[in-house]
Amino acid sequence: MKKDIDPKILQKAQLWLEGNYDDETKEKVKDMIENDPHELIESFYQDLEFGTGGLRGIMGVGSNRLNKYTVGMATQGLANYLKLMFPDKEQIKMAIAHDSRNNSKYFTKIAADILSANNIKVYVFDDLRPTPELSYAIRHFNCQSGIVITASHNPKEYNGFKAYWDDGGQLIPPHDKNVIKEVQKITNIDDVKFDGDNSNIEIIGEEIDKIYLEEIKKQSLSGELIKKHNDLKIVYTPLHGTGVTLVPRILKEFGFKNIYSVPEQDVPDGNFPTAKSPNPEEPAALELAIKKATEVNANLVMATDPDGDRVGIAVKLPDNKFVLLNGNQTACLLMYYLMNKWNEDNKITGKEFIVKTIVTTELLKDIAIKNNVECYDVLTGFKWIADKIKEFEGTKIFITGGEESYGYMVGDFVRDKDAVASCAMIAETAAWAAEKGKTLYDLLIDIYLEFDHYKEKLHSVVRKGKSGAEEIQKMMADFRDNPGKQINNSDIVLTKDYLLQKEFNKETGEEKPIDLPQSNVLQFFLKDGSKISMRPSGTEPKIKFYFSVKDKLENKNDFAQNDEKLGKKIDDIIKSMGLG
């Protein structure tokens, strides 16, 4: 069997047999060499890459797997970078949280031990906690960095390591690339300080829960309305994740009385036994919750992902059935409520702003502009929303931010998407709608009537291997260099190229710089109001296309017909671009 394996892979595996690795690890490497060449190749053909957000990978033995040693080297690299950046600090401080995934608590201990051995003060949550609470803890304790052990909504075989900076946001340039360089310098596990110093570790928990939840409660704008409509029936599921610790609690503290759980999914479990995918974007993930909602005649269904930073919802239709909303629609409901309430309460002073990502619906911008609130676009990822808040800290007031991939943030006390706060504020939005005699579904149609009926769709093109990666590159180059004049019989009026950092207005001939970091993203804006965004993956042969179309909605009774027409329009655009 050995003769079929690349000698370089065997050599790498041999280093694990000879190095200062534990006996159990060595036994597993031996077994792969003798009995499982395929797994050996997968486990050692490359090093698990520490990317701009940290590590994420399949758990197991080997350099391309998430384990004690790859987590250890990442943690040591981060510790080394912090020492370079904060040389005058008497003691650097960090916070660590973890989700419900298999081995999350184990990896948390590994990271805490290494940091403490590097004379870094470490605040470690006593048990699983949502990612946004980690972001809050970093700022609360004036930490220089933080770590969350999570793989978000990936399958059960995965885990990960997300790194944060002192503002509570995920790493952005130059820190992301610089941390990567420091991690890459750790080429020998003997350079990792695994023996912890307990005097540098402090366990935290309930005391932080309380003050974090108090900050969420400060965002509430409709306490009296909640009292009036506190009998709204809400079904919530954490999908076996961390949301179970705080979401039901914050809903009750907001004043909602009828919170229904999905008992089998309330159990934190890294195997996610009742969910094919623990991803609130996937309809199957909400099946049990919707079944419960139908049984109890609920008004609203909410589901959070394993690390409690994203939320998906289902709302009731006039026929008492439930429909799932996408991330753009939920963001619009939340935004519309907040804008209206801030205006009703005379809180708009001209200094307020919201932030959305460039691939998120333009309807958010329409809502903000009508309410005299500035809207800023940033690159995909909540770290850029956090960066924008930091930029305007002390001069402008952040209201909310959102992205199409089911992440939202209300207020600036946390610097990452926050499903705990979002669940509370979505429920409050439902109470505000109820006061008007409406459901959230009614409210969504009201938004489309007041502005335009927007419809969005994500379409991914995936290829395989080296040839697939080349095909994806060529596809992107062709759209960049030869876009043509029309798409689906509508003129391209504006092109935004974030790689060249330029936008070009084809009607006026005007060219403007794009004041955002360089990114391989291309956008076409069509004369009929359609927006097409394309973004290739940096790690796999895949390219994502984000489609947004719109039309006037004159009558709420025309919604279904209009929605179908817009769906067909997206399909036609996909075909016209040769993607269907």
Do 402 and 356 meet the contact criterion of CB atoms below 8 Å apart?
yes
**Given strand 352-357, what is the order of strands in its sheet?**
374-378, 352-357, 397-403, 407-410
List the catalytic residue out of 104, 135, 152, 222.
152
Q: What is the DSSP letter of 531?
A: E
Put residue 109 in one of left, alpha, beta given phi > 0 → left and psi -120 to 50 → alpha: alpha
How far is it, in rounded angstroms, from Cα 171 to Cα 181?
Answer: 14
**Given strand 121-125, what is the order of strands in its sheet?**
54-58, 158-165, 145-149, 93-98, 121-125, 201-204
Secondary structure of residue 239 in the 3-state scheme? coil
The yes-or-no answer on residue 152 being catalytic is yes
**Range list of β-strands (E), 272-346:** 300-304, 311-316, 322-324
Antiparallel, parallel or unpaired: β 201-204 and 93-98: unpaired
Termini Cα distance of the chain: 43
| Token code pair at residue 142 | 């004036």
Put residue 257 in one of left, alpha, beta given phi > 0 → left and psi -120 to 50 → alpha: alpha
How far is it, in rounded angstroms, from Cα 284 to Cα 4?
Answer: 41
Do 276 and 284 meet the contact criterion of CB atoms below 8 Å apart?
yes
How far is it, in rounded angstroms, from Cα 261 to Cα 292?
Answer: 8
Closest CA to 285 of 271, 310, 307, 303: 303
Q: Which residues pair with 368 in a beta bridge?
A: none
Phi and psi, residue 419, nearest 5°: -75, -25
The amino acid present at 393, given as its one-letter code, is E
Q: Provide the H-helix boundaries in 276-326.
A: 287-296
Q: Which residues pair with 158 in a beta bridge?
A: 58
CA distances to 51, 133, 135, 152 from 174, in Å: 13, 25, 19, 24
How far is it, in rounded angstroms, from Cα 380 to Cα 552?
Answer: 28
10 Å CB burial of residue 558 (0-12, 13-18, 19+) is middle
Catalytic residues: 152
